[in-house]
Amino acid sequence: MVSPVFLLLSCFLGHVAVAGRTCPKPDDLPFALVVPLKQFYEPGEQITYSCRPGYQSRGGIRRFTCPLTGIWPINTLKCLPRVCPFAGILGNGTVRFTTFEYPNTISFACNTGFYLNGTGSAKCTEEGRWSPTLPVCAPVTCPPPPVPKFATLRGYKPSMGNNSLYRDTAVLECLPKHAMFGNDTITCTAHGNWTEVPECREVKCPFPSRPDNGFVNYPAEQALYYKDKATYGCHETFVLDGPEEVECGKLGKWSAQPSCKASCKLSIKKATVLYQGEKIKLQDRFKNGMLHGEKVSFFCKNKEKKCSYTEDAQCIDGTIEIPSCFKEHSSLAFWKTDASDVKPCE
Ligand SMILES: *[C@@H]1O[C@H](CO)[C@@H](O)[C@H](O)[C@H]1NC(C)=O
Ligand SMILES: *[C@@H]1O[C@H](CO)[C@@H](O)[C@H](O)[C@H]1NC(C)=O
Ligand SMILES: *[C@@H]1O[C@H](CO)[C@@H](O)[C@H](O)[C@H]1NC(C)=O
Ligand SMILES: *[C@@H]1O[C@H](CO)[C@@H](O)[C@H](O)[C@H]1NC(C)=O
Ligand SMILES: *[C@@H]1O[C@H](CO)[C@@H](O)[C@H](O)[C@H]1NC(C)=O
């Protein structure tokens, strides 16, 4: 007699022995896919591991069969991100990146004077390629420089085809009779344009007027213009106060207005003075008078301290003020010591 319980049990055990145990849901592997993915697998069922798009394993696809033990074999599959070609260097620019792996994005910038020909960033795709393709830094160029009215270009040579490169310069010159307002040198900027161009304006100066006791010469023209020159001179015994030559400036004025200054007649008959650091006799050196601007130092006595000191006097347009401390000796008072022979005060 076979007990029904035993029958049932043996039937159950027999089933287990044939079917084995079911396998559980397989372990998650980073960046991998399992097909098919279920909660349980019957012994004999197959699964395949593969890497997600953008990732690669060294061994490629792995197949496993659920064994009767119900335990999946050890899986050593490793999925690693694809690596895009090295892109860490951008000529005349810089690249910002962490790694060149999927799915990272890198970005680009160009140095001053260069512009990005392409996009500012690129992504490493699932296929391991940069998208969009990597940009280049191209040099900034400026078109031929603008030439303002009444101006000409001097010493300009395009450096790239018909264009100029960043930092190239050109020099502008005004036509005769015209003065420049602004900088004569223009520079190709990093924006691809030129710095501000100067302006050339016609500039006229009035005819210079003749100075009293003198004369002025200037070109015999209808009008006098920027950079024209005039020369001044004075009649005898008069001295020019100012430069001999003046020039018409960019604001329509002469660089100076010289005048003629009178020389000084000397009321003193006899005096020893300092002139250009030397003791001289006033009556000898300046017997024709002193010219405008000339300067001498008179000697004076300090009676208490019995010493001498000097005071300056200058001829200004016909007038010279003799220092009040100066005492002119009569030529008969030969016993008196002249101030210039007294020892100087400390
Ligand atoms: C960078 O720019 C300079 C000047 O335009 C050029 O000579 C050089 O070849 C450039 N370098 C690269 C790597 O493009
Ligand atoms: C800019 O890129 C385009 C497309 O790649 C290319 O045809 C062109 O020559 C480039 N220009 C410069 C100035 O590099
Ligand atoms: C420069 O400009 C001239 C006239 O516009 C043109 O004929 C020539 O092809 C240009 N040269 C270059 C290198 O661009
Ligand atoms: C004119 O421009 C040049 C170049 O930009 C600069 O070096 C120079 O100092 C400027 N001159 C004046 C007078 O501003
Ligand atoms: C040059 O271009 C820049 C940028 O577009 C602009 O700000 C600047 O005013 C321009 N300079 C001149 C002189 O036109």
Nearest CA to ligand 2 atom 3: 117
Answer yes or no: is the C-beta of 138 below 6 A from any ligand 2 atom.
Answer: yes
Residue 1 falls within a domain, yes or no?
A: no
Nearest bound ligand to the CA of residue 194: 5
What number is the average pLDDT over the span 214-233?
96
Nearest CA to ligand 3 atom 13: 161
More confident residue, 172 or 77: 172
pLDDT value at residue 13: 43
pLDDT value at residue 60: 67
Residue 46 falls within a domain, yes or no?
A: yes
Confidence of residue 333 (pLDDT cuts 50, 70, 90): low
Mapping DSSP onto H, E and C, the string for 98-152 reads CCCECCCEEEEEECCCEEEECCCEEEECCCCCEECCCCEEEECEECCCCCCCCEE
Q: Which residues line ligand 3 (CB under 6 A)?
A: 161-162
Q: What is the pLDDT of residues 182-211, one digit of tens each?
A: 999 999 999 999 999 999 999 999 999 999
Strand, coil or helix: 282: helix
Q: Which residues line ligand 4 (CB under 6 A)?
A: 183, 185, 187
Nearest CA to ligand 1 atom 12: 91
Q: Model-level pTM?
A: 0.69
Nearest CA to ligand 2 atom 10: 117
Question: Both tokens of residue 72?
Answer: 């999946």
Strands of 214-217's sheet in order across? 214-217, 229-234, 245-247
Residue 308 falls within a domain, yes or no?
A: yes
Helix (H) or strand (E) segment spanning residue 81: strand 80-81
Residue 230 falls within a domain, yes or no?
A: yes
Same-domain status, 320 and 281: yes
pLDDT value at residue 288: 87
Residue 11 falls within a domain, yes or no?
A: no
Same-domain status, 330 and 276: yes
Last residue of a domain, one of 60, 81, 102: 81
Of 242, 216, 202, 246, which is closest to residue 228 (Cα–Cα)?
246
| Torsions phi, psi for 144 (to 5 deg) | -50, 145
Same-domain status, 185 and 246: no
Residue 188 Cα to ligand 4 midpoint, Å, equals 13
Nearest CA to ligand 4 atom 10: 183
Residue 16 falls within a domain, yes or no?
A: no
Which atom of ligand 3 is least distant from the CA of 162? 1
Confidence of residue 5 (pLDDT cuts 50, 70, 90): very low
d(CA 115, CA 141): 10
Q: What is the mean pLDDT of the chain?
A: 90
| Torsions phi, psi for 318 (to 5 deg) | 90, -5
- Report the 10 Å Cβ neighbour count for 149: 10
Confidence of residue 327 (pLDDT cuts 50, 70, 90): confident
Residue 267 falls within a domain, yes or no?
A: no
* Owning domain of residue 295: 272-341
Same-domain status, 254 and 285: no
Nearest CA to ligand 1 atom 6: 92
Q: What is the pLDDT of residues 50-80, one digit of tens each?
A: 999 999 988 767 899 999 999 998 888 899 9
Answer yes or no: is the C-beta of 92 below 6 A from any ligand 1 atom.
Answer: yes
For residue 164, give the CATH number of its domain. Answer: 2.10.70.10
What number is the average pLDDT over the span 337-342?
85
4 preceded by a cis bond (ω within 30 of 0): no
344 preceded by a cis bond (ω within 30 of 0): no
Same-domain status, 75 and 110: no
Which atom of ligand 1 is least distant from the CA of 165? 5
Beta bridge partner(s), residue 225: 204
More confident residue, 107 or 155: 107
Nearest bound ligand to the CA of residue 138: 2
pLDDT value at residue 75: 85
More confident residue, 20 or 224: 224
Nearest CA to ligand 1 atom 13: 91
Nearest bound ligand to the CA of residue 158: 3
| Torsions phi, psi for 17 (to 5 deg) | -60, -35
Residue 188 Cα to ligand 1 midpoint, Å, equals 18
Classify residue 227 by its DSSP letter.
T
d(CA 46, CA 38): 11
Q: How many independent structural domains does the chain possess? A: 5
d(CA 144, CA 303): 82
Residue 182 Cα to ligand 4 midpoint, Å, equals 9
Question: Both tokens of residue 255?
Answer: 């660089």
Answer yes or no: is the C-beta of 134 below 6 A from any ligand 2 atom.
Answer: no
Q: What is the pLDDT of residues 227-276, one digit of tens each?
A: 999 999 999 989 999 999 999 999 999 999 999 999 999 888 889 999 99
Residue 131 amino acid letter? S
pLDDT at 2 over 70: no
Residue 9 falls within a domain, yes or no?
A: no
Same-domain status, 286 and 249: no
Classify residue 58 by its DSSP letter.
S
